[in-house]
Amino acid sequence: MSEALKAFEDELQSKNFKGYWQNIQGDVAREPVPSFAPCFWKGKDLFAATEKAGEVVGLDVSFRRVIQLWNPALKNGTSRTLVLNLQLLKPGEDALSHRHMAGAIRFILKGQGTRLIVEGESFEIGEGDFVTTPSWTWHDHENHGGESMMWLDGLDAPLVRLLETDFHEPDPRKKQTVTKPEGYTLATVGALRPSWMKQNSIQPPAFCYKWADTERALSKVGEQPGDPYDGIVLDYANPLTGGPTLPTMACQIHMLRGSEKTKSHRHTSSTIYHVWRGGGVSYIGDQRYEWEQGDSFVVPLWNFHHHENTSKEPAVFFVMSDKPLMDAIGHYREDAKAD
């Protein structure tokens, strides 16, 4: 570098300026190069760690007894934008109320009879149910049943951290008072809905999607061709608009029929998979992962991936992705691998 150029750059810096040429480091990438790699978590290890947390970590120590599926390529989180956790709530435990900017979902893996209270409505939850806790909604949980509850917590917390928009408020009441009748949201946001009710046009209402309905839908469409890359896909749609689950994340159920093998593709959204039923193998970039019930893995953006159900029984994934974000800003691109 010439003396004159160095002196000029120093002068720019002293005035908080930077020349474009100072940012160019070699070739500019022609396509996305994710900074985080695929990662796989064994369900057996996750459940064992969570059981252990149940013995050594009280709710006084950890406001929520939650273990994160931490992608070591990141400071925090499972993907760049989303995090998947497993939460344990033991019989008799109450997780106190709070609200925050991060939007959250729960997918119940184990247990019955617990209640999630969101914005004054109490939802009874059990295995396979899926519940949303949209951004800035009060939420607390109570396990008044006889068995431990375990559920997946999915949050857009890494995105919120990046945006630095995290308002976070403990509830001065500690626990919410239930102010809405049982089944209130279900009865008011469907095809028949009260005409005077104003709804938030960005955030969906908190909603509980029952496993029995998911199973029924799978059985009604299970014979159809489905999607070449993901098999039979059900969207957990915003019940009001039919749009994505939350503005920042799309949650889905994927079913691979017995011996089904999907085609390979890649896209600019990143996807987190949890194996809810069955066994098989997924290929992500140059990695091969064999999975069984309870396992989880993440497919970073722009990694080719495809899946194979290696058994005769259906395999079912619970899936979470940041595609709505990419759609909202016009960054979604998808590319099929040539056969």
Query: Interacting stretch for ligand 1HN, rule CB under 6 A, among 43-51, 100-108, 262-270, 299-307?
Result: 100-108
Work out which of 139, 266, 267, 323 binds ligand 1HN, going by CB under 6 A: 139
Determine, following the binding rule CB under 6 A, whether residue 298 of this chain makes contact with ligand 1HN.
no
For residue 244, give the nearest of 297, 323, 189 by alpha carbon: 323
Determine, following the binding rule CB under 6 A, whether residue 206 of this chain makes contact with ligand 1HN.
no
In angstroms, give the least distance from the CB of 168 to ligand 1HN.
8
In angstroms, give the least distance from the CB of 33 to ligand 1HN.
28
Q: Considering beta carbons, is residue 88 or 301 the nearer one to ligand 1HN?
A: 88
Query: Interacting stretch for ligand 1HN, rule CB under 6 A, among 47-55, 99-107, 286-294, 296-304?
Result: 99-107
Determine, following the binding rule CB under 6 A, whether residue 157 of this chain makes contact with ligand 1HN.
yes
3-state secondary structure the chain: CCHHHHHHHHHHHHCCCCCHHHCCCCCCCCCCCCCCCCEEECHHHHHHHHHHHHHHCCCCCCCCCEEECCCCCCCCCCCCCCEEEEEEECCCCEEEEEEECCCEEEEEEECCCEEEEECCEEEEECCCCEEEECCCCCEEEECCCCCCEEEEEEECHHHHHHHCCCCEEECCCCCCCCCCCCCHHHHHCCCCCCCCCCCCCCCCCCCEECHHHHHHHHHHHCCCCCECCCEEEEECCCCCCCCCCECCEEEEEEEECCCCECCCEEECCCEEEEEEECEEEEEECCEEEEEECCCEEEECCCCCEEEEECCCCCEEEEEEECHHHHHHCCCCCEEECCC
In angstroms, give the least distance from the CB of 139 to ligand 1HN.
5
Determine, following the binding rule CB under 6 A, whether residue 85 of this chain makes contact with ligand 1HN.
yes
Determine, following the binding rule CB under 6 A, whether residue 119 of this chain makes contact with ligand 1HN.
no
Work out which of 78, 81, 87, 269 binds ligand 1HN, going by CB under 6 A: 87
Q: Considering beta carbons, is residue 104 or 315 the nearer one to ligand 1HN?
A: 104
Q: Considering beta carbons, is residue 139 or 274 the nearer one to ligand 1HN?
A: 139
In angstroms, give the least distance from the CB of 121 to ligand 1HN.
15
In angstroms, give the least distance from the CB of 198 to ligand 1HN.
26
What's the CA gap between 254 and 278, in Å, rounded? 12
In angstroms, give the least distance from the CB of 100 to ligand 1HN.
6
Contact characters 47-76, ligand 1HN, x per CB under 6 A: -----------------x-x----------
What's the CA gap between 199 and 112, in Å, rounded? 31
Q: Considering beta carbons, is residue 158 or 280 the nearer one to ligand 1HN?
A: 158
Which spans of this chain sit near ligand 1HN (rule: CB under 6 A)?
64, 66, 85, 87, 100, 102, 104, 139, 153, 155, 157
